[in-house]
Amino acid sequence: MSGPAVSVAELEAQEARLVLSHFSYADAWTLGGLLVELARERQAPVAIDIRRGAQQLFHCALPGSSADNDAWIDRKRRVVERYGESSFLVGSRFRAKGTTFEDSSRLDPDVYAAHGGSFPIAVEGAGVIGTVTVSGLPQAEDHAMVVEALERLRG
């Protein structure tokens, strides 16, 4: 993992803070645009994916990304769908216990990846209704980019 260490408590606080009052198709487009803007500013070679349930609402692959990033998106997204928490938080909880997701979750690592970059889209009164995922940077940076975009979306 690169970048500054983020504690489990900090990751939990992010998720509590980033619950949205609503999330529409237009919001998905706005959030995707914010992520593309952040990625272009940083010349980040990422792929971006936003889903509501099983429906993909936004996808963009920027220069330098590859089909491998799409595979990582799928694996990280499945962790959020299963646990209802960010892929980075899930992986961090295992690391805080002195183990790894791969060693202790009993889930197929070809299907699930508890690496930073996928975040639950949670709506007040509805719970987790979707996911937003970035892949292409070190996991802490993928996660931080999603958090920054969600913070901007919230205003």
Domain ranges of the chain: 8-154
- Identify the pLDDT of residue 3: 43
- Identify the pLDDT of residue 6: 87
- Identify the pLDDT of residue 77: 98
Give the CATH H-level superfamily of domain 8-154.
Haem-degrading domain (3.30.450.150)
- Identify the pLDDT of residue 73: 98
- Identify the pLDDT of residue 42: 97
Cα–Cα distances (Å) from 71 to 33, 38, 152, in that order, read 21, 22, 27
Other beta carbons less than 10 A from residue 27's beta carbon: 17
Q: Which pTM does this prediction carry? A: 0.95
- Identify the pLDDT of residue 53: 95
Chunked into runs of 10 residues, the chain (155 residues) has average pLDDT values of: 72 97 98 98 98 97 98 98 98 95 96 98 98 98 98 94
DSSP-assigned states of every residue in the chain: --SS---HHHHHHHHHHTEES---HHHHHHHHHHHHHHHHHTT---EEEEEETTEEEEEEE-TT--HHHHHHHHHHHHHHHHHSS-HHHHHHHHHHTTS-HHHHS-S-TTT----SSEEEEEETTTEEEEEEEEESS-HHHHHHHHHHHHHHHH-
